[in-house]
Structure 1
């Protein structure tokens, strides 16, 4: 009886298609690993039961490999998971995990290093981002995005640049979701508003778009601007994104550290908390959200 009481359960992770297949796959993968640990089944034996290698099982247990219903059923039998409610929820999550990702229609124009972030951000309860050079990608207009992408990829064909820009616009739709939309707290350096991307007209329309978004999404979008006077507190040269998820018991915090033509991801709790402290420090030196509108209005006048 004690073993049953302490057995891992997936019932706390709800079926939420709007969170995306990646979140369901990751939650289910971690649950399978916990079930194996609880049953005391060695990885070699578990892999053999589904005619797979240990490395394949490891990828399944970290959400990096597809999860087949037949394999999962065999593993659950091996791990002694008999509860019909657990099995039913696992089947539902497995079906959801197999659905296409929101970015897949743009796959050929999506950088591989960005895909894990695109996969997981729809399941975020809260996103904190810092951007030292540009308007954050979620908040860019199409023409601003195209200008930025063209500068980074000058030889890319026009249709690929256009698709990459459309993907950036599509990402914002998660903030418009009814019910459980993420909250985005975006911090950017004040110089971003004075750094010309494209023509002055592009900048004017971009700043006006930010003002419009603040009106449209007063509860889901919080924008703060860090002044140059922030000094060392704001001297971080690369974008940082910290995601905290719904159903956090099953989905650990994720940190995204962007580099030139690449990115690092970190889910270790100690590192996640360290970067969260960095972002909280940046929020502390940035303007309060209620002052952002006046700073944007000043920028609008600058580009008029």
Structure 2
């Protein structure tokens, strides 16, 4: 019970601009909720104190709306949060949370259902991805990506297609950054390397690109190929992405489940643990990463 009465702290969450605004906003949102709970103040009472609605307090505490610095300061006063170090840290988080999201330069091309993943993946310590149909988006060549996107959106104008391709191309840059880059473990079905996307030349260059990326990002990128013999372990049927963050006490795991017409997100511990177990099982039965270069070289012979 003593742990339950311990005052919440945000001092363990670092100010890391490379993680993106969404991570800072989500960490601060959770902290404000814990501070209100610790102070024994109801959402309606907190809302009255800053002249807003209870729904707005809910959105603030789930990171679904921007923070006004004056509102946050007033809430901290109400919650009796007087530590100057904490107040300074929170002010830093408020400023960071107000910056443009990583997808905003491509706002016209970024699907709303993908934006939460785009916003949070820069803050990930580790990303596990399973793709049963295509090369994962982070690892696609420009020409491969254009064909895939155009096939999924045949009626979209060329400018929007180009925007979506540009957005997809920039996502891998987070693996190249100098400060705390994520580690990406991507598992693909073996049929991905046999499924023709465009001409044989497109496929050949895509597989060569994968080989080059593995050579370049020896520590940040790991690729496993799951053969048909994995059986039911590989029968997930849709792409899955599992994010684990550097500060799990502030940012819980996130799971992205891609659907043909949208996406589903899961961040409850029971859900994230279940998908973690599913992906761990798949990684355990897929070909080990040490065999991937040879398997890619073998796949190249199909497209020469």
Q: TM-score, normalised by structure 1?
A: 0.98
Q: For 1:95-110, list aligned pairs within 5 A.
A: 95-110=95-110
How far apart are the structure 1 equivalents of 2:270 and 2:296?
36
Q: Secondary structure at the match of 2:91?
A: helix
Does 1:121 find its partner at 2:121?
A: yes
Q: Helix, strand or coil: the match of 1:15? A: coil
Structure 2 partner of 1:214: 214
Quick check: 1:300 aligned with 2:289? no
What's the offset of the Cα at 1:128?
0.2
Aligned residues: 303
Residues 177-204 of structure 1: per-residue CA shift (max 9 Å, x gap): 1131000000010000000001111100
Runs of 4 or more, structure 1, over 2 Å off, are none
CA distance in 1, matches of 2:198, 2:301: 17
1:76-115 counterparts in 2 under 5 A?
76-115=76-115
> After superposition, where does 1:162-173 map in structure 2 within 5 Å?
162-173=162-173
Q: Could you say which residue in structure 2 is the equivalent of 1:75?
A: 75
- Could you list the per-position Cα deviations for residues 62-109 of structure 1 after superposition, in whole angstroms to 9, with x for gaps in the alignment? 000111100000000000000000000000010000000111010111
Contiguous gaps of at least 5 residues in structure 1: none
1:140-159 equivalences under 5 Å are 140-159=140-159
Mapped partners of 1:50, 1:255: distance in 2: 34
Q: Secondary structure at the match of 2:248?
A: coil
Q: Provide the residue aligned with 1:284 in structure 2.
A: 284
| Residue of structure 2 equivalent to 1:181 | 181
Work out the CA distance in 2 between the residues paired with 1:116 and 1:51. Answer: 29
Q: Is the 8 A contact 2:18 2:179 kept in 1?
A: no
Deviation at 1:124, TM superposition (A): 0.1
Q: Which residue of 1 aligns with 2:269?
A: 269
In 1: Cα distance, 2:98 partner to 2:181 partner: 22
Mapped to 1, the partners of 2:107 and 2:6 lie a distance apart of 42
**Partner residue in 2 for 1:60:** 60
1:217-270 CA distances to partner (integer Å, 9 max, x unpaired)? 000000000001111111111000000001111000000000012000001101
SS in 1 for 2:171: helix
Match of 1:239 in 2: 239
Query: For 1:203 and 1:163, how far apart are their aligned partners in 2?
Result: 22
* TM-score normalised over the length of structure 2: 0.98
Q: Distance in 2 between matches of 1:150 and 1:209?
A: 21
Structure 1 CA distance for aligned equivalents of residues 159 and 197 of structure 2 = 20
What is the CA deviation profile of residues 149-195 of structure 1, one whole-angstrom value per residue up to 9, with x for unaligned ones? 00000011111111111111101001011131000000010000000
Measure, in 2, the Cα distance between the counterparts of 1:36 and 1:115.
29
5+ long unaligned stretches in structure 2: none
* Matching residue of 1:32: 32
**8 Å Cα contact 2:226/2:234 also seen in 1:** yes
Deviations along 1:33-55, one digit per CA (max 9) or x if unpaired, are: 00000000111010111111101
Contact 2:108–2:163 (Cα < 8 Å) also in 1: no
Equivalent pair of 2:243/2:253 in contact (CA under 8 Å): yes
State the alpha-carbon separation in 2 of the partners of residues 248 and 276 from structure 1: 14
